[in-house]
Chain A
Amino acid sequence: MEFLKWLVGSSGFMPHGYCYRWVPGLVWLHGISDSLIFLAYMSIPVTLMYIVRRRKNLAFNGTFVCFGVFIVACGLTHAMEVWNLWHAMYWLAGMIKAVTAAASVATAVLLVRLVPQAVGVPSAGELSGANARLIEQAAALSASEEKFRGLLEAAPDAMVIVDPGGFIELVNAQTERLFGYTRQELLGQSVDILVPKTLREGHGAHRHGFFAAPKVREMGKGLALYGLRKDGTEFPVEISLSPLETDTGTLALAAIRDGTQRRKAETRYRALLEAAPDAMVIVGSGGIIELVNAQTERLFGYAKQELLGQSVDILVPKSSREGHGAHRQGFFAAPKVREMGKGLALYGLRKDGSEFPVEISLSPLETDTGTLALAAIRDGTERRKAEAKYSALLEAAPDAMVVVNQAGEIILLNLQAEKRFGYYRDELLGQQVKNIIPVGFAERLIADGTRTAAEALIQQIGTGIELSARRKDGSEFPIEIMLSPLENAEGILVTAAIRDISVRKAAEEALRQSEERLRLVVSSVTDYAILMLDLDGCVVSWNEGAERIIGYRAEEIIGQHFSHFYLAEDIDKGKPVFELAEATSNGRSEDEGWRVRKDGSRFYANVVVTALYDETGRLRGFGKITRDITERRRSEEHLVKTAEDLKRSNDQLEQFAYVASHDLQEPLRMVASYTQLLARRYQGRLDSDADEFIAYAVDGCNRMQGLIRDLLAYSRSGSESKLLREISGETALDEALANLRVSIEESGATVTHDLLPDLTTDDTQLVQVLQNLIGNAIKYRGTAAPLVHVTATNNGGKEWIFAVRDNGLGIAPQYFERIFIIFQRLHGRQEFNGTGIGLAICKKIVERLGGRIWVESQLEKGSTFYFSLPESNGD
């Protein structure tokens, strides 16, 4: 303490300020300068200290320390100067100076010692250059180190670097992960900690072997290696070794892979192989069998052991072995998946010596040890058989069969195809199908952008497509093709069945033409409405005649029900329905009746509805033919009306004639009767004139009565209803003759006849006719006794021609017609009695019965009166 006090005491000295007389300028000049120097000096050691600390390996260490001390002390000295301006601590200042002196001397001495070294120190440029190079090298080294380290770290496998002593020098992260250790736990350890205890001995040997002859290899080839994790579990590993040259010697770099997956995959693969339905044989490039599956054993009859390691040739028939070898070499030269022996029939050889057809597919199998060939072998017997059967079928097919591939080439055809197209088989094989079917086939096979070939095909399957085909000679003929797909290993083929449809086409054409003709006929018929109805009675077809007669146009009426043509009351009565029903049950229905047109007007129609059947006999619809018979009906009605009028007028006439005659008779009778009475009562009592007068009167009356009677008879004859019966002409004749008995006897007439027929007519009237004619024949006789002959002949026209021949007076030709007129006589009353009514009555009767009457005669020779009557009444 005393010392200290002394050090800092001013001890009566005067501060330096006094030396400067306390001139401010001067004081401050010294003060500030020394302060600045102090600061600068202090900063330098600070900087130096910093450098020393930063650069730990600094050479010239001592020198720097000394220098530092020197500067510090010097700085302090200046600081004391400043202090000493106001405080005279000269002892302290002096101490500090002394220190400074010591330090400076030391430094100077050291510095002198450094001179040779300092001279040898490279210049800044050299230094920086050397520095730069050093930096580069260092960088390169660290880069490759980095890369190496990076590779190692990044490797998917666990990488372990082991020295010849078996100690682990380096591991990567994967190693940590795989084995469950941290890096630190492994570095420096024996690599054996990663090896299962059981394998360690062997492992050691291997290691020695490796270091003796280091080269890249797969470790433990063929053996199942295992690794040991930290937790004691073992797992399969695959290890590749490579030597690593370092300056310190060769190291072993082991790449270790977890083999669990691969082992699993291998097992699965093996299982797959075993389970494969085909025989699987794996063959090396030398032709040695490396692997077979159970199916191989079964197929070839060998046990697995018998095959492994053998040449695959033992499975090949002797005759094929040479070629097989060449093929195998070709395969290994350019390994790719292929079907073996394409196009050839391959055979396999069983253990028992039997051969059988096989199909083989080859695929290359890459392994680390090289390429292997995996052959899948299938028993081709069945397929060979199926192929043979298929070929046989193809050949036997009645149609031409052609099999075409995706490229449009014909790859198979049958005999019929040869015949139909006029080619030999080999002329067509390989040809484009376009050459025989120019259009329509090849296009259908093509997969265009919108569909695949399979889809394109499926669209065509089964449909009968009509195309045109071309023969070898260039002629074309129509065909129908049916396509079906055929899949084989090479893709989809198309089998086409080709049928020549020329005949069918001709028939179709003929049918079409006949249909066309029919249609023409139907449509052009304008007088008949010809329509077709469906099962419900709706109009299906309509012709021109229908339009003309009924008024509807086709488009208006098709689909409508045909009851449109019927009157409302007929529809209510169910007439249309009835017609269809009748047509259905009887095949046909005919009707005449009123129908109505489109405009509502009526027409009278004859309608025939016919049931139409298809080829199976099933009812398909109805055909309807309608005829407008309005005109006909009108004329019919007119006729009927006219006939009715006629009849009425006839009736009236007859009635009139009858009534007239009848009513005339009455007064006539009075006159006649009383004149006769007069004549009787007063005959002889009056004069002769009176007698004469009375005679004339009576005579007149008689005549009148006769006329009226005949007129009555005439009017009555034929007006009665006819009784048409099958009657015997013979009987009629007999009756007539019986009525004429008296005149026959009186005249001595002989009446003969041929056999008279039976016919259908009114017997009374026939009697009347015969009676009149025979009566006339007798009456109008000549001098000889009358000979009358009655005949009847059939003229083949369903008529009987009766003839009454006499030998009487005959008739002059100009009277042939006149004699049939009522009351016409050719003779006077004096000559022959009669009113001239007989022939008129005959004519009336005969004509009413549907016949004719006429005469042939020769004057003085005789006459033959003919009349015809229909066999069965046609009136």
Chain B
Amino acid sequence: MELHVTGMAAFEILLVEDSPGDVRLTREALKDAKMHINLHVVSDGIEAMALLNREGEYANVPRPDLILLDLNLPRKDGRQVLEEIKANPALMTIPIVILTTSASEEDVLRSYRLHANCYISKPVDLDGFLTVIKSIDNFWLSIVKLPHEPGL
């Protein structure tokens, strides 16, 4: 069997974001990422859970290494998703970066309480936004060691 060195292993990032604009911007920002990133996008909480639970169409989606979660989502709200993920032993170890327009202290506190790994307030300007995405990439995908759970 041949070893294909296709480059480094790809990072699976799940982006839970309902604004297509922001999705596109995120994709743009991650284009310059060092690592190879597979970006999975779902636009609401239910889809997010379905994907994580590998239900239906998401049966073969790999387990994300990082989740970028918006709070204000239709159907199932991001806060609830956070709660559910962190309550699920199979999923709780996946780092979750809350990426939201809300800057309210309450949301911040609540998110950390629900064991979000970090909270980022989306900058309103482009550069800021790009920088933040890049920082996420730098930090979470380069500096930080992510857990790998066997069998999952």
Contacts and interface: CB of A to CB of B under 8 A. Distances in A.
28 contacts: A662-B101, A662-B102, A665-B101, A665-B124, A666-B19, A666-B101, A669-B22, A669-B101, A669-B122, A669-B124, A669-B125, A669-B129, A670-B19, A670-B22, A672-B124, A672-B125, A672-B126, A673-B21, A673-B25, A673-B125, A674-B126, A676-B125, A676-B126, A676-B127, A677-B126, A680-B126, A702-B125, A705-B124
Nearest to A706: B124
B28 interface: yes
A761 B21 CA distance: 43
Nearest to B123: A669
Given A666-B19, A672-B124, A673-B125, 10 more contacts: A662-B102, A666-B101, A669-B101, A669-B124, A672-B125, A672-B126, A676-B125, A677-B126, A705-B124, A705-B125
B49 to A, nearest CB: 24
Interface in B3-22: 19, 21-22
Nearest to A698: B126
Interface of B: 19, 21-22, 25, 28, 101-102, 105, 122, 124-127, 129
A685 B101 CA distance: 32
A-B CB proximity, top 10 nearest:
A676-B126, A670-B21, A673-B126, A705-B124, A669-B124, A666-B101, A673-B25, A665-B101, A665-B124, A677-B126
A709 interface: yes
Contacts of A677: 25, 28, 126
Contacts of A680: 126
A378 B21 CA distance: 143
Contacts of B122: 669
A756 B21 CA distance: 49
A246 B129 CA distance: 187
A709 B124 contact: yes
A668 interface: yes
A666 B124 CA distance: 8
B65 to A, nearest CB: 26
A676 B105 CA distance: 29
A665 B129 CA distance: 14
Contacts of B125: 669, 672-673, 676, 702, 705
A673 B20 CA distance: 13
Q: Give the one of B19, B25, B105, B125 with max A CB within 10 A.
A: B125
Contacts of B129: 669, 673
Contacts of A668: 124
Interface in A676-723: 676-677, 680, 702, 705, 709, 720
A662 B101 CA distance: 8
B133 to A, nearest CB: 12
A677 B27 CA distance: 13
A860 to B, nearest CB: 36
A673 B129 CA distance: 8
Nearest to B24: A674
A824 B125 CA distance: 25
B46 to A, nearest CB: 21
Contacts of B21: 669-670, 673-674
Nearest to A669: B124
Nearest to A712: B103
A677 B127 CA distance: 9
A702 B125 CA distance: 8
B15 to A, nearest CB: 16
B130 to A, nearest CB: 9
Contacts of B127: 676
B31 to A, nearest CB: 12
A670 B124 CA distance: 9
A266 to B, nearest CB: 134
Contacts of B126: 672-674, 676-677, 680
A705 B101 CA distance: 13
B28 to A, nearest CB: 7
Nearest to B125: A672
Contacts of A702: 125
A673 B27 CA distance: 13
A665 B127 CA distance: 16
Interface in A647-673: 662, 665-666, 668-670, 672-673
B78 to A, nearest CB: 14
A670 B101 CA distance: 12
Contacts of A672: 124-126
A672 B25 CA distance: 12
A431 to B, nearest CB: 106
Contacts of A673: 21, 25, 125-126, 129
A233 B21 CA distance: 171
Nearest to A666: B101
A102 to B, nearest CB: 202
Nearest to A674: B21
A680 B130 CA distance: 13
Q: Give the one of A673, A677, A705 with max B CB within 10 A.
A: A673
B51 to A, nearest CB: 24
A665 B126 CA distance: 13
A666 B73 CA distance: 13
Contacts of A709: 124
A680 B127 CA distance: 11
Nearest to B129: A673
A396 to B, nearest CB: 95
Contacts of B124: 665, 668-669, 672, 705, 709
A705 B19 CA distance: 18
